[in-house]
A and B are shown apart, each in its own frame.
Chain A
Amino acid sequence: MRGRAMVDLALFGFVAGFLALGLRRPFLWVLAYLYIDIVAPQKISWFLLASIPISLIAFAAAFGGWIAADDKRDSRFTLRQTLLAVLLIYCGVTTVGADFPAEAAEKWSWVWKALVFAIFLPLTLRTRLRLEATALVMVLAAGSIIVTGGIKTALSGGGYGSLRFFVNDNTGLYEGSIISCVAVAIIPLIWWLARHGTVFPPDWRVRAFAAALTFACLLIPVGTQARTGLLCIGLLGVLSLRAVRRRFLYLALMGAAGLIAIPFLPQSFTARMSTIENHKADQSASTRVAVWLWTLDYVKDHPLGGGFEAYRGNRLTVQTRDVEASGNTVAVEVDEVEDAGRAYHSSYFEMLGEQGWPGLALWLWIQVLGLWQMERLRRRWAGRTGPRESWQGPLATALQHAQLIYLLGSAFVGIAYQPFVLMLIGLQCGLWSYCRRIDSGRIVRRRDRPVLTPLAPPAIP
């Protein structure tokens, strides 16, 4: 009890201190909001922070600070921010006519904030240090959840739905599948910070911490036993091939690490991962496929979507098929399970069912445009070695890889509006805008350079 009170006081002091520093540098209010939205300290707290609307205070301070005190000359509104604004309006419209108005209004109450912040964030990311600080706070804030999960997994092995983070809460980053996906997605950002960070300049301590945090990130899918996480780790391994020089050595080392790790993995983990191949035997996976088919059927009659939480209207009959071979006999057990109101378990189908084809198209446009923009930055800034131009390409690569991992993970988890991912999109928009400004400045300076003309007129032959 006394210990909890101390944690409460310490968290309150931390948040109050962070907000107080914003009086000197208002951008810290933006970082404070990122921290509060990711960690949700008001959920960890018992009384002090739990009784204060700190998220609203930080939200208002971030906006107010930018409007009142920040330089807006270099702020640009990018195409993706416009698309996010259109998506925000469209979601508002579908909420008005939603199939389940009360439930839809509840989801809208946090989705609009996440979308508005993603639109706003790039306007504040005018400097290199702000881009780095945003990535750093996102990684450290998510890291506070990941480190505790990683240590508990190492000590006890975890378990599906039983790995407890700070709170008994299954929302936001505290949900097993979501934290698994996010933990793997931030690994490229961790290493960008370890190599190019200036707040914590690269040295052996930073590299050691990055390695330990990466290990904790990789343990999260083991601890939560979320199959999505294992797929994300696989994709991370493939994407890393782009960055390494000795690819065959890397593949051999990865293979060896995987083989060494298998005996140390909990049996419940390997048993659950085996259902990725044999999804028909697993009710959770079979229900997922049934919901997706229901969604495709649903949008035939509702092409504009049914608003948030439209899945609540589904009624499903799922057949699970378990094949067991024993000697020369094969036993096939078929079960039929009735289910209703099952969630989408996929961001793609979440967008399709809730916002219809226009909403899905908008969301995909935002995602694909991000991949394309990061690829352009990656190529444009590749191979530069100057002190002020060597970080842009690797950051674009890290953000692109994080997004690709998210896009794979989100195929099996309904996280289309996950605030952390929307922050990543905001960071991408900020980097895109920043690099375009630097490049355009360079072109203008090149044009302004005086053309050397001969002082004497050319001799007439």
Chain B
Amino acid sequence: MVDLFSLALLHGLLALAALRLVLRDDLDADPADDPGTGDAGARDG
């Protein structure tokens, strides 16, 4: 029972994280890399 609870909880969170990651544009390209959007770090440098 404990094993099942732990497996379900953590795998549920892993699945949710994977789904959220797939929908994020910044997974493959950092907004900082895009000269159009700028970067807080770059602006103040």
A→B interface (CB under 8 Å): 3, 7, 10-11, 14, 17-18, 21, 24-25, 27-28, 31, 35, 44, 70-71, 74, 126-130, 133, 136-137, 140-141, 143-144, 147-148, 151-152, 155, 166, 199-200, 386-389, 438, 441-443, 445-446
- Determine the chain B residues whose CB is within 8 A of the CB of A155 once the complex forms: 2
A129 & B26 in contact (Cβ 8 Å cutoff): yes
Closest to B29 in A: A127
- Determine the chain A residues whose CB is within 8 A of the CB of B9 once the complex forms: 144, 147
B40 & A387 in contact (Cβ 8 Å cutoff): yes
What is the distance, in angstroms, from A326's C-beta to the closest C-beta of chain B?
43
Interface of B is mostly: helix
Which residue of A7, A18, A31 contacts B4 across the interface (Cβ within 8 Å)? Answer: A7
What is the distance, in angstroms, from B4's C-beta to the closest C-beta of chain A?
7
What is the CA–CA distance of A253 and B18 in the complex, to the nearest angstrom? 38
- Determine the chain A residues whose CB is within 8 A of the CB of B39 once the complex forms: 388, 438, 441
A441 & B28 in contact (Cβ 8 Å cutoff): no
B15 & A17 in contact (Cβ 8 Å cutoff): yes
Closest to B5 in A: A151
What is the distance, in angstroms, from A432's C-beta to the closest C-beta of chain B?
16
Which residue of B15, B18, B29, B42 contacts A71 across the interface (Cβ within 8 Å)? Answer: B29
What is the CA–CA distance of A446 and B42 in the complex, to the nearest angstrom? 8
Q: In chain B, residues 1-45, which have Cβ atoms closer than 8 Å to a Cβ of chain A?
A: 2-7, 9-11, 13-15, 17-22, 24, 26-33, 39-42, 44-45
B40 & A152 in contact (Cβ 8 Å cutoff): no
- Determine the chain A residues whose CB is within 8 A of the CB of B33 once the complex forms: 74, 127
Interface of A is mostly: helix
Which residue of A27, A35, A151, A387 contacts B27 across the interface (Cβ within 8 Å)? Answer: A27
Q: With A25-B27, A130-B27, A443-B45 as known contacts, state yes or no: A148 contacts B3, CB within 8 Å.
A: yes
Q: With A129-B24, A130-B27, A144-B11 as known contacts, state yes or no: A442 contacts B42, CB within 8 Å.
A: yes
Q: With A18-B18, A27-B28, A133-B27 as known contacts, state yes or no: A7 contacts B7, CB within 8 Å.
A: yes
A152 & B2 in contact (Cβ 8 Å cutoff): yes
- Determine the chain A residues whose CB is within 8 A of the CB of B4 once the complex forms: 3, 7
Q: With A148-B6, A151-B5, A445-B42 as known contacts, state yes or no: A388 contacts B14, CB within 8 Å.
A: no
What is the CA–CA distance of A299 and B5 in the complex, to the nearest angstrom? 48
- Determine the chain B residues whose CB is within 8 A of the CB of A438 once the complex forms: 32, 39, 41
What is the CA–CA distance of A17 and B22 in the complex, to the nearest angstrom? 12
What is the CA–CA distance of A148 and B26 in the complex, to the nearest angstrom? 33
Beyond the given A3-B4, A144-B7, A442-B45, could you list 19 further A-B residue pairs with CB under 8 A, ordered by the A residue number? A17-B18, A18-B18, A25-B28, A27-B21, A27-B27, A27-B28, A28-B22, A31-B21, A71-B28, A127-B29, A140-B13, A144-B6, A147-B5, A147-B6, A148-B7, A166-B3, A199-B17, A441-B32, A443-B45
Which residue of B11, B13, B18, B41 contacts A28 across the interface (Cβ within 8 Å)? Answer: B18
B40 & A386 in contact (Cβ 8 Å cutoff): yes
Which residue of B21, B30, B45 contacts A445 across the interface (Cβ within 8 Å)? Answer: B45
Closest to B4 in A: A7
B40 & A21 in contact (Cβ 8 Å cutoff): no
What is the distance, in angstroms, from A159's C-beta to the closest C-beta of chain B?
16
What is the distance, in angstroms, from A142's C-beta to the closest C-beta of chain B?
9
Which residue of B5, B14, B45 contacts A35 across the interface (Cβ within 8 Å)? Answer: B14
B21 & A446 in contact (Cβ 8 Å cutoff): no
**Nearest 9 Cβ contacts at the A-B interface:** A144-B10, A148-B6, A442-B45, A386-B40, A127-B30, A147-B6, A388-B40, A389-B41, A151-B2
